Structure 1
């Protein structure tokens, strides 16, 4: 599974000219899920839903970043209860207690293997470790912005903890196997050399440039990434063009593999209004959802929201989130078992994908909102499989 960042379906699979490899090569080879949705804004809540079926806390809904809603620190989830549908009730916090299970825990219990491959993790050891890289519990996350290349860190460091869902569960970070299972992306090539060394479940997070988060993709001065690349869909497309052929050439993929390419959430649209010498810029996220998605027990008074990022006599910039969903992002599936060029208009979201993977792997039960029996699963979609 490859997760990219912050792009709307209408751009990625429509108007954009920055991703020709994804649009013109991969989509015709695989299945396009036109109605695939993120589950929240602004980032971390999506990753957590993919892995555990959990909805946000007042901290994870804002990436556990200082200055927004919540404490802004890498702290334990303050659990006060559990709902009947398996959702943690919490007043805040980022790291879930060890009794909150993840897909990784389910796979381990089934004697199946898994590994998270993280772009740039450990490039700067002063920020994070090269394996199982996360902040000190109770401290600030040092990875919220990318670090440019320097003499001390020649490659720079654009790893972001908030895009690594494994780091938010004590069941994973407290285990000695975390250092084996959450590693730098550089290890993937060697792991793919044989079926025996390829994990049953692979989760890939590119760095902040290669996932399209940073930069606008144009290559214009001042509009790119900290490492000098253009970012946006341009860099995301280049990442796919490098890695997808490597994965598809592997024995494990040829035997019975499937690649999922999607985005964590949609992007904002911008509106600008001027009056009395002051300009107001609004970054608007609709927060649309699908699939009977529920907001969870912890978002009362948090969504919808308007956060003022800049407030000067001449400029106001507002961050506006209207709903609790993550908007329409789309997804592409590639597999020897997928009908090339197929299109599915069935609605899916990250909870649907988790439920689909739990079914494929035959693990015990469905986690959190993935236990919703009304969710569609990709294995039942006859329009896309041979």
Structure 2
């Protein structure tokens, strides 16, 4: 996440749009015993909007905020785990907290230097790409006999920048995918961002020959959805920098922001929810990596400055690698400087939407959850144990407040 963007105040008034089955935070959050009836989980991660913006009465994403939320569960108190982007994606599939580098989007795609591991599974070190000893949800699923794929929009559009499968920069070089690339006479626009593809930050994945078949361009998804047998048990779907809502005035001429995110969902969600695997035993989770900026930017010709609130939930811990807050840092993109002030280490309230035949339409949950909670829930579904902060004592697994059609 960075620069020249949307910038709706995170303090906008929240309007409740969904009328249905509301479950309060003091209600039951126990996990249904038959949660393992879910065998296909789809996650679509969007970018950089707060709950008050996405789910307001003036939302630019009415398909998400109104149509899809009414078809399943609106999870009002869903939180990101950090700012700016990459640390959130890493937490979703590994339970790892940030390093100084992942907390600032790893503009250099570099190996981690580690000095140890905490008792709760947190790697101590600096850098971006975790050693092969650090396991992920895909590693757990493979070991348990389940299948998984990452579907990455635009990956490989410009094959001189990144491969169309398992696409990432060369180790220990500058990450050229930090900004969207306009179309040329040779290649279409390439708006793939490695930092939004969490699989690329683990040697256990990128060093495996399976990476080329498991991390692929989004165009493969429609074919894979044709049968239960070809649909992975876990699918992580990353739109490009325009369709995920990150950019505005996109390099392909699209508006970006929530408008383009809404259009993306209108295309892909019906393909998922009408697929045989989803109809049989599927769960779709639509979340955001983090909330929008908490303050209006201070803008000059050469820089922009932002302040993040960094609100947390769920007794989230900062991990062993970050200094005390508040923190300031600067990122440089093509000579333009983005100055960041983070007053705390959280990712603020984003909300999420979940759809499944195991969820009654119109469900509203007010129980607090975050990315670690989502990982814990998926690990519970597949019975594979908990990684890192997904195993934190007292962390809630998504339960009967959401899965209102499971008993």
Fold-level similarity (TM above 0.5): yes
Within 5 Å, give how 1:128-167 maps onto structure 2.
Answer: 128-153=162-187, 155-167=188-200
Q: Cα gap change, 1:257/1:268 in structure 2, threshold over 3 Å: closer, same or farther?
A: same
Partner of 1:85: 120
Within 5 Å, give how 1:162-201 maps onto structure 2.
Answer: 162-201=195-234
Partner of 1:298: 321
Q: Aligned-pair distance for 1:151? A: 1.0
Q: Aligned-pair distance for 1:308? A: 5.5
Q: Cα gap change, 1:308/1:55 in structure 2, threshold over 3 Å: closer, same or farther?
A: closer
Partner of 1:44: 86
* Equivalent residues of 1:270, 1:282 under 8 A apart: no
SS in 2 for 1:2: strand
| Structure 1: runs of 5+ lacking an equivalent | 66-72, 216-223, 311-315
Q: Cα gap change, 1:162/1:141 in structure 2, threshold over 3 Å: closer, same or farther?
A: same
Residue-by-residue CA offset, 1:52-84 (whole Å, 9 max, x unaligned):
00001111110112xxxxxxx211111101001
1:248 aligns with 2:263: no
* Equivalent residues of 1:113, 1:201 under 8 A apart: yes
2:147 to 113, 122, 125: 113
SS in 1 for 2:390: helix
Q: Cα gap change, 1:304/1:339 in structure 2, threshold over 3 Å: closer, same or farther?
A: same
SS in 2 for 1:143: helix
Q: Aligned-pair distance for 1:307? A: 3.4
Within 5 Å, give how 1:276-291 maps onto structure 2.
Answer: 282-291=305-314
Within 5 Å, give how 1:250-269 maps onto structure 2.
Answer: 250-269=275-294
User: How many Å separate the matches in 2 of 1:341 and 1:366?
Assistant: 30
- What's the C-alpha RMSD, in Å, of the aligned pairs? 2.2
* Equivalent residues of 2:287, 2:352 under 8 A apart: yes
User: How many Å separate the matches in 2 of 1:29 and 1:230?
Assistant: 27
Q: Aligned-pair distance for 1:268? A: 0.7
Q: Aligned-pair distance for 1:381? A: 2.9
* Equivalent residues of 1:352, 1:370 under 8 A apart: yes
* Equivalent residues of 1:343, 1:383 under 8 A apart: no
User: How many Å separate the matches in 1 of 2:205 and 2:230?
Assistant: 20
1:232 aligns with 2:280: no
Partner of 1:34: 76
Partner of 1:221: none
Residue-by-residue CA offset, 1:226-262 (whole Å, 9 max, x unaligned):
1100000000000000000000110000000000000
Q: Cα gap change, 1:282/1:380 in structure 2, threshold over 3 Å: closer, same or farther?
A: same
User: How many Å separate the matches in 2 of 1:16 and 1:172?
Assistant: 41
Residue-by-residue CA offset, 1:280-332 (whole Å, 9 max, x unaligned):
9742210000000000000015x42223579xxxxx97422111000100100
Q: Relative contact order (C-alpha < 8 Å, sep 6+): which is higher? A: 2
Residue-by-residue CA offset, 1:95-143 (whole Å, 9 max, x unaligned):
0011100000000000000000000000000110000001111111110
Name the TM-score, length of structure 2 as normaliser.
0.85
Matched pairs, number: 361
* Equivalent residues of 1:148, 1:156 under 8 A apart: yes
Runs of 4+ in 1 over 2 A off after TM superposition: 269-274, 306-310, 316-319, 379-386
